[in-house]
């Protein structure tokens, strides 16, 4: 039995995808392509769909790009979320174009009258709104050095905007409270989750590069997920967004919350390892990432790739199958039982063929 328990949040439909109420946490990403060029935006979304992205956010900075929302939606399979700042008319256009959700920062979308019009149209179209509070847009109140006060400022901003939406009887709300500080972010999400049950989109904003940003996001998201908080996640990286999706799956899988299809157990190597294990592990990972049906398995296939037979077999006994190596040969095993021998240059292909057999 798992120690942690998911918070029961309100159920919200984003196009064909349901979030909240204990449904599996969904993986979201954002395009970096220019949305004025709808073809390259669609091309990037298709790559993200292939990687397992379940919700996609696209920023529409002006009316020219907003006019492309319908074309983009028509060519993709996953729900399209329009990210709008400053001009409510752009948001109205994307609603007209058929987007599945809006992400706005109510603090910069204009007067209450404009917001009222926007809420009315979103309601008519049955699309949810994410109130995306971001530390970067809370300059005045946020100028305190105390992290608790900063977290409170994020939550207060979300609550103010929720009040406006609720005043217009709008409850299809998703909330995010992002800061680049893990401490501020975690405090804000925990504070909010103790007050209201709107679904939460998690992220550590501006987390950084693939390496640093993934580690920072894992640390921050890990705390919140373990507390049962979170309905959608984005790992925000300065990289190809496909990396965000891959990182999100690994984070959720390592917390036993989603299945990325494959779990590789590999040793850190020591002087007993006499071949290039790093190369073999990355080859298996790369080849497995292109296998389409892997994620459909009810639980990930666990593969062990170990540097030696002294400890390798024992260390990998929980794996479905794997190889523990020597200089010229490796021992192939399945559920802890030895079933053959394979030389290191054939490990990757052998493992990939075993994964394929496992899926049939």
Sites of contact with ligand SF4 (CB under 6 A): 267-270, 272-273, 306-308, 310-312, 315
Residue by residue, DSSP assigns 78-124 as S-EEEEE-S-HHHHHHHHHTT-SEEEE-GGGS--HHHHHHHHHHHHH
CA distance 82 to 89: 13
Smallest gap from Cβ 269 to ligand SF4, in A, equals 5
233 versus 316: smaller Cβ distance to ligand SF4: 316
CA distance 350 to 343: 10
Smallest gap from Cβ 220 to ligand SF4, in A, equals 30
199 versus 322: smaller Cβ distance to ligand SF4: 322
CA distance 143 to 150: 8
51 versus 316: smaller Cβ distance to ligand SF4: 316
147 versus 311: smaller Cβ distance to ligand SF4: 311
CB neighbourhood size of 188 (10 A): 30
251 versus 267: smaller Cβ distance to ligand SF4: 267
Smallest gap from Cβ 355 to ligand SF4, in A, equals 21
Sequence-distant (≥ 6) Cβ neighbours of residue 291 within 8 angstroms: 261, 352, 355, 356, 359
152 versus 334: smaller Cβ distance to ligand SF4: 334
Smallest gap from Cβ 341 to ligand SF4, in A, equals 17
Closest CA to 158 of 123, 203, 188, 116: 188
3-state secondary structure of 161: helix
Smallest gap from Cβ 310 to ligand SF4, in A, equals 5
Smallest gap from Cβ 309 to ligand SF4, in A, equals 8
Residue nearest to ligand SF4 (CB): 307
């Amino acid at each position: 039995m798992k120690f942690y328990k998911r918070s029961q949040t309100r159920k919200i439909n984003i196009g064909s995808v349901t979030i909240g109420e204990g449904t599996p946490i969904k993986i979201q990403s954002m395009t970096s392509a220019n949305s004025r060029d709808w073809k390259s935006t669609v091309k990037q979304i298709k790559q993200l769909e292939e990687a397992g992205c379940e919700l996609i956010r696209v920023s529409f900075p002006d009316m020219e790009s907003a006019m492309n929302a319908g074309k983009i939606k028509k060519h993709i399979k996953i729900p399209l979320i329009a990210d709008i700042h400053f001009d409510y008319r752009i948001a109205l256009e994307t609603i007209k174009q058929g987007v599945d959700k809006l992400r706005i920062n109510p603090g910069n979308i204009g007067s209450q009258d404009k917001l009222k019009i926007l809420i009315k149209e979103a309601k008519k179209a049955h699309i949810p709104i994410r109130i995306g509070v971001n530390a970067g847009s809370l300059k005045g109140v946020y100028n305190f050095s105390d992290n608790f006060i900063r977290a409170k400022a994020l939550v207060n901003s979300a609550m103010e905007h929720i009040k406006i939406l609720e005043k217009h009887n709008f409850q299809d709300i998703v909330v995010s409270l992002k800061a680049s500080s893990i401490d501020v972010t975690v405090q804000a999400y925990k504070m909010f989750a103790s007050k209201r049950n709107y679904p939460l989109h998690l992220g550590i904003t501006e987390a950084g590069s693939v390496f640093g940003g993934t580690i920072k996001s894992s640390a921050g998201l890990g705390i919140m997920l373990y507390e049962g908080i979170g309905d959608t996640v984005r790992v925000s990286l300065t990289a190809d967004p496909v990396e965000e999706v891959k990182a999100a799956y690994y984070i959720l899988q390592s917390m036993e919350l989603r299945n990325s299809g494959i779990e590789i157990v590999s040793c850190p190597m020591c002087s007993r390892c006499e071949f290039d294990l790093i190369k073999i592990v990355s080859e298996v990972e790369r080849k497995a990432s292109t296998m389409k049906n892997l994620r459909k398995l009810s639980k990930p296939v666990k593969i062990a790739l170990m540097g030696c037979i002294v400890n390798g077999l024992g260390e990998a006994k929980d794996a479905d199958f794997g190889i523990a190596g020597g200089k010229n040969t490796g021992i192939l095993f399945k559920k802890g039982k030895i079933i053959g021998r394979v030389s290191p240059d054939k490990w990757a292909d052998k493992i990939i063929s075993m994964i394929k057999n496992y899926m049939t």
